[in-house]
Amino acid sequence: MNARQHAVAAITSWSQNGARLATKDVPIRRLYGMNVFSDEVMRARLPENVYRALRNTIKKGAPLDETIADVVATAMKEWAMERGATHYTHWFLPMTGLTAEKHDSFLSPTEAGPAIAEFSGKELVKGEPDASSFPSGGIRATFEARGYTAWDPTSPAFILENVNGTTLCIPTAYCSWTGEALDKKTPLLRSVEALSKQALRILRLFGSDASKVFSTAGPEQEYFLIDKNFYYARPDLINAGRTLFGAKPPKGQEMEDHYFGAIPERVLAFMHESETELYKLGVPVKTRHNEVAPSQYEIAPIFENANVATDHNMLVMETMKRVADRYGLQLLLHEKPFAGINGSGKHVNWSLADDHGNNLLRPGDTPHDNAQFLLFLAAVLRAVARHGDLLRVAIAYAGNDHRLGANEAPPAIISVFLGDMLQDIVNQIEKGGAKSTIQGGEMRIGVSILPPLPRDAGDRNRTSPFAFTGNKFEFRAVGSSQSIAGPIVVLNTIVAESIDDLITPLETAVAAGKDLNTEIQALLPKVIAEAKHVIFNGDNYSEAWHAEAAKRGLPNRRNTIDSLPDLISPKSIALFGKYGVFSEREIHSRFEILLENYKKTVTIEAQITLQMAMRQILPAALRYQGEIAQSVANLKSAGAVVPKTQVSLLNELTATIEELQTAIAQLEEASEAHVEGDTYAHAKHARDEVIPATNAVRAAGDKLEGIVAADLWPLPTYQEMLFIK
Ligand code: ADP
Ligand code: MG
C-alpha cells in the first residue's frame, strides 16, 4: 500500500477513542471565561482603588498608574497558581502574523530551602524576549537586537491549559528599544487612539459626554477540515498549507448541497470541543455552520472591542488547530487549499462604538441621532474613496492572491455597497434635500427621520468587498489565515483622517455661533460628491464592473506585487505619520517584511512542487508507462493485434511525462535564476517567473492524475480529501 491507500484505510477504522470532552457536564455559565483574568475576577481580588484605576485604563484609556502594577501582578499570580499555572508568558503578535510566547517559571529557587513564587509588577508590565529571530524588516539592527514586550491591560490575561500544566498568558505589545513597533498590536492600539480622538469630536458637537471611542470587530472565520491521514500523505499541505497538485473532483460544489447542510458527526464533536475551549478563554463564539465548499465550515463570534477581537481571533485559529488534532482532523486555514474549490475568507464586521455602548454606525430613532449617523457614514465612505488602495494593501499576500478576483471572493477593486435604501438617502443628501423616491418626503438633516434600513440577508450583496449591513460594515476581502489587526489598523486610521477633515470646519462654524444642522446639511453633499465614485451596489464579479471601475479611476491591484507599493506612497506615509500609527521607518519595515513573505511563500511552494513532481508523480507515471509498454509488448509477442487505442494511451502518457519533465526543468531554472536588485525585484521575479513555472508543473501533474492507474497514484485525491470523512 502507498501512503494514499494507507490514509484511506486508516480513516475507515477511525474511532472517537481518545477524543473526549472533559467539561461536557459543566454548564456554560460556569465554563464561560473561567480561564480569564476578567473584570469579575479583578473586582473580587483587587483592592477597590486598584481595581478602579485599572478599570479606568481599560475603559477610558487613562494612562496606567505604575504603582498599581505590583498589586495587580500579585493578584494575577495567585489566581493563576490556584488554577495550576506554573509558568507565565508575555503573549504577543509579531509581524509573522502568528502569536509568540516565551515562558518563564513563576518559581525561583532560593539559597535556603524551597523555591518561592515570584512575579512582580515589573515582570507583568515589561518583558524581554530574546526575539532576534522575529522579522523586523530592517528596524532592529543586531546591536539593538532585543525588543521588549509591554503589558496591554485592555486585553485580559488568560490561562492556556495543557494536560501537563497551565500557563498564564499576558497579552502584550512588542517594541524595539527605540520604541518602534515590531508587532501588530502596537499599531492597532495607536490606531484606536487616533480614531477615538477624532470620533469624540463629532460626539462632543452632539453633546455627548463619552470619553472613548473604539472600533468593534466580529470576524467570521472560514476553514476547511480534512482527515489527518490525508494531510500527512500530502507534503504540499504540510509545508505550504495548500495543495500544489490535484485535479478537480468530478463532484465539486456544483450540487451546493453542503451549505448549511447537516454537519458530520465527527466535525460536530470537534466544534463542540473547540467552542468549549474558547468559552473557557472568554471568546464569545456564537455561530457555526457548513460553508459553500465540501468540508468547509465557519465559526463566528459575537463582536467585541477590536483589540480584544483581534487577540480572540488568534485564539480561535490556534484553539481549533489544537482541538482538530484530537479528532484526527487537520484544520486548513489557507485561503485556497484546493484549486477550483471555493476558498476561505474572513469577513471582518467593523463598526464604531463609544464607551456608553452606543454603536455609532447605527441609524438612530431621532433626527438628532440621524444627523450624527450620517456624519459617521459619510466619513467612512470618503475614507474608503480616498484610501481604497490601503485597504487593498491590508489584505495583500500570496495566499489571498488565489482568492481575490476569482468568482467566489470580492474582486481586488475596493468599493462600497450601501443598498438601495441608503443609496437613495445618500442621493437625496447629495442633491441637498430633493424629493425622495422611496419615502416621498424630504431629507433634511436634523429634521427627517431615516426610514428603517433593511438588515435582512436579502439585501446583502455578497459580491461586495466592503458592504454596509445595517449597522456596521463588513470587509469581506480579508483572508482566512491572516490577522485581522492590519485591516482594522487601516480602517481606523483612514476613518480618523476623514473625520478630522470633516469635523474641523463644523467645529469652527459652531464656535462662531452657526447652526450645526444647517452646517451639516451644507457639508454632507460635498463629502458625498468626493466619495460617491467608490459606491457600487451591482455585481462585483462582472466584467462590466471592471470596465466601469477603471472609468471611475478606482485602482485595481490584481495581486500583492501590484498592491504593496501603495503602502510606501507619499499619501500613505503622510497619513500614518500624521495620526501616529506608523512612522516612515515602520512603514518601510512592513513593506520589506511583506515582500519577503511573498517571495518566501512562492519559493517554498516551488520547491515542494519540484520535490513532489520528481519524487512522487514522475515515478508513478513511469511505473504506469512501464505497465502499458509491457502489456503492448506482451500482446505483440503473443502474436495478437495491438489495439491502436493502447498505443495512443502509451503515447499520450509518454507525451505528458515529457511535458512534466520539461516543466520541471523550467521551474528549476526560474527558481535558480540570479535576480539583480532589491527585495521588490526578487518578489516580482517570484510572481512573473516562478509562479507561472510552478503552475506549468502542476498542470502536467494534474493531467497525469487523470491518466495514471489509481492504485499507483501516490497523492490523496481531491475527491478523497473532501468527501471521505
Ligand atoms: P449575519 O452576517 O450572519 O447576518 P450578524 O449581522 O448578526 O450575522 O453578524 C455577523 C457578525 O457581525 C457577527 O460576528 C457579529 O457579532 C458581528 N457584528 C454585529 N454587530 C457588529 C458591530 N456593531 N460591530 C462589529 N461587528 C458586529
Ligand atoms: Mg455576515
Summarised one tens digit per residue, pLDDT across range 548-563 is 999 999 999 999 999 9
Residue among 349, 350, 453, 476 whose CB has most ligand 1 atoms within 8 A, to mutate? 349
Ligand at minimal distance from the CA of 316 is: 1
> What are 173's strand-pairing partners?
150
- Per-residue model confidence (pLDDT) at position 661: 98
Please write the tens of the pLDDT for every residue from 449-479. Answer: 777 776 655 556 788 999 999 899 999 999 9
Pairing type for strands 329-332 and 100-105 reads unpaired
Mean pLDDT across 682-693: 98
> What are 693's strand-pairing partners?
none
CA distances from 3 to 233, 363, 438 (A): 6, 58, 63
For residue 519, report the distance from its CA to the centre of ligand 2, in Å.
35
- CB contact set of 194 (below 8 Å; sequence gap of 6+): 492, 493, 496, 579, 580, 581
Residue 436 has pLDDT above 90, yes or no: no
Instruction: Read off the pLDDT band of 255 (50, 70, 90).
Output: low
The burial class, CB within 10 Å (0-12 / 13-18 / 19+), for 36 is middle
The answer to whether residues 330 and 179 touch, using CB atoms and an 8 Å cutoff, is no
Helix (H) or strand (E) holding 717: none
Q: Which three cell numbers stand for residue 244?
A: 500544489
The answer, yes or no, to whether any atom of ligand 1 lies below 6 A from the CB of 301, is yes
- Eight-state DSSP code of residue 600: H
Mean pLDDT across 396-424: 88
Please write the tens of the pLDDT for every residue from 326-347. Answer: 999 999 999 999 999 999 999 9
Distance CA 669, CA 662 (A): 11
Helix (H) or strand (E) holding 474: strand 473-475
Distance CA 474, CA 464 (A): 9
Q: Long-range contacts of range 177-182, CB-CB < 8 Å, 24 or more positions apart?
A: 177/144, 177/146, 177/147, 177/148, 178/139, 178/144, 180/139, 180/583, 180/585, 180/586, 180/589, 181/582, 181/586, 182/94, 182/95, 182/131, 182/134, 182/136, 182/139, 182/140, 182/147
HSE (side-chain half, CA atoms, 13 Å) at 116? 7
Give the three-class secondary structure for 385.
Answer: helix
Mean pLDDT across 56-83: 86
- Per-residue model confidence (pLDDT) at position 551: 96
Mean pLDDT across 658-681: 97
For 327, list phi and psi in degrees, rounded to 5.
-110, 15
HSE (side-chain half, CA atoms, 13 Å) at 208? 21
Instruction: Read off the pLDDT band of 291 (50, 70, 90).
Output: confident
Instruction: Read off the pLDDT band of 301 (50, 70, 90).
Output: very high
Mean pLDDT across 382-407: 94
Q: Which three cell numbers stand for residue 133?
A: 529571530
* DSSP code string of 614-645: IIIIHHHHHHHHHHHHHHHHHHHHTTPPPPHH
Least confident segment among 82-91, 171-180, 611-620 = 171-180
Distance CA 577, CA 586 (A): 10
* Amino acid present at 645: T
Nearest CA to ligand 1 atom 11: 218
The answer, yes or no, to whether any atom of ligand 1 lies below 6 A from the CB of 303, is yes
Mean pLDDT across 222-236: 96
The answer to whether residues 500 and 577 touch, using CB atoms and an 8 Å cutoff, is no
Q: Ligand 1 atom closest to Cα of 218?
A: 14
The answer, yes or no, to whether any atom of ligand 1 lies below 6 A from the CB of 32, is no
Q: Ligand 1 atom closest to Cα of 359?
A: 23
- Please measure the distance between the N-terminal and C-terminal CA atoms of the chain and give it in whole angstroms: 20
Mean pLDDT across 232-258: 83
Percent of the chain with pLDDT over 90: 69
The answer, yes or no, to whether any atom of ligand 1 lies below 6 A from the CB of 302, is yes
Residue 248 has pLDDT above 90, yes or no: no
Nearest CA to ligand 1 atom 14: 218
Distance CA 320, CA 104 (A): 25
- CA 262 from chain center: how many Å? 26
- CB contact set of 353 (below 8 Å; sequence gap of 6+): 213, 214, 215, 216, 305, 359, 360
- Per-residue model confidence (pLDDT) at position 12: 75
Ligand at minimal distance from the CA of 349 is: 1
Nearest CA to ligand 1 atom 7: 302
- Per-residue model confidence (pLDDT) at position 431: 82
The answer, yes or no, to whether any atom of ligand 1 lies below 6 A from the CB of 472, is yes
The answer to whether residues 628 and 650 touch, using CB atoms and an 8 Å cutoff, is yes
Degrees (nearest 5) of the Cα angle 672, 678, 683?
55
Please write the tens of the pLDDT for every residue from 655-664. Answer: 999 999 999 9
Q: What is the pTM of this model?
A: 0.94
For residue 362, report the distance from its CA to the centre of ligand 1, in Å.
12
- Per-residue model confidence (pLDDT) at position 143: 46
The answer, yes or no, to whether any atom of ligand 1 lies below 6 A from the CB of 216, is yes
Which residue, among 370, 380, 372, has the nearest Cα to 472 in the 3D structure? 380
Degrees (nearest 5) of the Cα angle 331, 335, 336?
95
Which residue, among 311, 248, 255, has the nearest Cα to 283 in the 3D structure? 311
- Per-residue model confidence (pLDDT) at position 656: 98
Q: Which three cell numbers stand for residue 589?
A: 519595515
Ligand at minimal distance from the CA of 469 is: 1
The answer, yes or no, to whether any atom of ligand 1 lies below 6 A from the CB of 285, is no
- CB contact set of 159 (below 8 Å; sequence gap of 6+): 35, 36, 80, 83, 85, 166, 167, 168, 169
Calculate the average pLDDT of the chain: 90
Distance CA 134, CA 127 (A): 15
The answer, yes or no, to whether any atom of ligand 1 lies below 6 A from the CB of 470, is no
The answer, yes or no, to whether any atom of ligand 1 lies below 6 A from the CB of 217, is yes
For residue 114, report the distance from its CA to the centre of ligand 2, in Å.
55
Residue 514 has pLDDT above 60, yes or no: yes
Ligand at minimal distance from the CA of 467 is: 2
Distance CA 251, CA 718 (A): 10
The answer, yes or no, to whether any atom of ligand 1 lies below 6 A from the CB of 300, is yes
Cell 436579502 -> residue: 458
- Eight-state DSSP code of residue 413: B
Distance CA 337, CA 225 (A): 10
For residue 330, report the distance from its CA to the centre of ligand 2, in Å.
25
| Other residues' Cβ atoms within 10 Å of the Cβ of residue 673 | 10
Please write the tens of the pLDDT for every residue from 130-169. Answer: 666 777 777 765 445 567 888 999 999 999 988 878 999 9
Residue among 316, 360, 472, 473 whose CB has most ligand 1 atoms within 8 A, to mutate? 472
Q: Ligand 1 atom closest to Cα of 353?
A: 23
- CB contact set of 638 (below 8 Å; sequence gap of 6+): none
The answer, yes or no, to whether any atom of ligand 1 lies below 6 A from the CB of 359, is yes
Q: Ligand 1 atom closest to Cα of 220?
A: 14
Distance CA 335, CA 375 (A): 35
Q: What angle separates helix 644-672 from helix 691-705, to the nearest 10 degrees?
A: 160
Distance CA 521, CA 375 (A): 10
Q: Ligand 1 atom closest to Cα of 302?
A: 16
For 280, list phi and psi in degrees, rounded to 5.
-60, -30
Mean pLDDT across 113-120: 73
Mean pLDDT across 700-704: 98
- Per-residue model confidence (pLDDT) at position 167: 94
| Other residues' Cβ atoms within 10 Å of the Cβ of residue 178 | 12
For residue 479, report the distance from its CA to the centre of ligand 2, in Å.
14
- CB contact set of 144 (below 8 Å; sequence gap of 6+): 176, 177, 178
Nearest CA to ligand 1 atom 17: 218
The answer, yes or no, to whether any atom of ligand 1 lies below 6 A from the CB of 646, is no
For residue 219, report the distance from its CA to the centre of ligand 1, in Å.
8
Mean pLDDT across 55-71: 81
The answer, yes or no, to whether any atom of ligand 1 lies below 6 A from the CB of 5, is no
For residue 474, report the distance from its CA to the centre of ligand 2, in Å.
7
